[in-house]
Amino acid sequence: MIEKIQEAICKEEVDGWLFYNFRDIDPSANAILQIPEDTFASRRWFYFIPASGTPCKLVHKIEPHTLDHLPGEKYLYAGWQTMETHLAHLLKNHKTICMQYSPKAAVPYVSYVDAGTCELVKSCGVEVVSSANLIQLFEAVWSQEAIDSHNRSAQFLRTLVLEAFQHIRKCIDAQQGISEYKLQQFILERIVKENLEYHHAPIVAVNENAGDPHFSPQAENKRSIQDGDFVLIDLWGREKSENAVYADMTWMGYVGSEPTTKHQEVFNIVKQARDAAIAFIETRFSQNEKVYGYEVDDVTRNVINEAGYGEYFVHRTGHSIGRDLHWKGVNIDNLETKDERQLIEGVGFSIEPGIYMKDFGVRLEVNGYIHHGKLCVSAQPIQQKIIMI
């Protein structure tokens, strides 16, 4: 493990990677260094991996065995003065090190080190830069097992969303009534029956509620879905295994035989934006060119801006996907943050442009991952037309 980390550090052109943790505030440090879950660590510890040479660990005297599973020379401290002296010694002769820090908190998913600790480290005479690229490499790259699990979950969810649209029609025809909440629970029951984990309950949003990107239906909302309604369904899940990753998708349906001209217009714009992002990534990889998260967001956003709906696209184009629904890899984002990380082999993410207005909203979400130097979009075929319910 250490050899792989040192190889990655060299490619980042930094002098080392300093891990720091206090009462498990940095889950990435625990994951990458494979800290046993039953480790009791009530005091600060540091673990420094230089670009070459032997790592060093700095732990408290009352918890001297905290990092014993890791190689390297051990330094012990009790008082803060000794800790700072040892830390300065660890970092001596190094100029630039990376930590779980993000300038201006641009990537909150990797921004675990507090400002005071950064100040302490900088006082040792080093420059601190972000470990965001390394976090992506060691935590957000999908294994083949993860890819397979994602594809199974994605295909199930695609089948389920179409079943949910059909369920609306069955309930209407049977005059049983079906609310947003009841449809959400119908979907959730299927997800549970499939034995998938879910981050939280799926989104079912009708008409003006679809204009709220993270609308959550409530049981007390008794309004029934009926003919003429425009329906957004956003659902997600992952298999219950250690290396499984999420699938996450959003589809649009219309209760009736012909949506309004406005519905169709906005749907087409969002679809064009989604497809532009896919095409941009595919083209870059086919030409062996690098592609970055913020660039893809720009492509998507430009389509919606040029159509005159830019003010209604209020979130990033997509998020990293992994063992959690929103994970630690590159986001497709130049709105909420400027994500300058590269789409590298094995990372997974969503592409989900949306337009949200007072009377209705449209979002079309697909998942992609980079595999063998190409973009793979799961759960094919993806939505091309509004589903007529």
pLDDT tens for 81-116 read: 999 999 999 999 999 999 999 999 989 999 999 999
Determine the pLDDT at residue 259: 95
Residue pair 1/82 in contact by the 8 Å Cβ criterion: no
Determine the pLDDT at residue 124: 97
Which tokens belong to 178? Answer: 């079906």
Determine the pLDDT at residue 199: 84
Give the range of the structural domain holding residue 5, as residue numbers without chain letter: 1-139
Instruction: Specify whether 148 is located in the same domain as 75.
Output: no
Number of H helices, E strands in the chain: 9, 17
Instruction: Specify whether 146 is located in the same domain as 109.
Output: no
- Average the pLDDT over each of 64-78, 119-133, 217-231 and give the range with the smallest value: 217-231
Q: Choose one of 139, 161, 194: the last residue of a domain.
A: 139
| pTM tops 0.85 | yes
Determine the pLDDT at residue 223: 81
Average per-residue pLDDT in the chain?
96
pLDDT tens for 37-49 read: 889 899 999 999 9
d(C-alpha 33, C-alpha 19), whole Å:
9
Instruction: Specify whether 236 is located in the same domain as 306.
Output: yes
Instruction: Specify whether 149 is located in the same domain as 270.
Output: yes
Instruction: Specify whether 356 is located in the same domain as 323.
Output: yes
Instruction: Specify whether 372 is located in the same domain as 238.
Output: yes
pLDDT tens for 222-250 read: 788 999 999 999 999 999 999 999 999 99
Burial annotation 291-300 (CB, 10 A radius, 16+ → b, else e): bbbbbbbbbb
Q: Any idea what the CATH number is for the domain that residue 353 is in?
A: 3.90.230.10
Residue pair 237/153 in contact by the 8 Å Cβ criterion: yes
Instruction: Specify whether 159 is located in the same domain as 106.
Output: no
Confidence of residue 207 (pLDDT cuts 50, 70, 90): very high
Share of the chain above pLDDT 70, in %: 100
Report the candidate in 270, 384, 370 with the shortest Cα–Cα distance to residue 320: 370
Instruction: Specify whether 23 is located in the same domain as 85.
Output: yes
β-strand partners of 370: 375
> Strands 354-356 and 320-321: what pairing?
unpaired
Residue type, position 384, single letter: Q
Which tokens belong to 48? Answer: 């420094």
Residue pair 2/49 in contact by the 8 Å Cβ criterion: yes
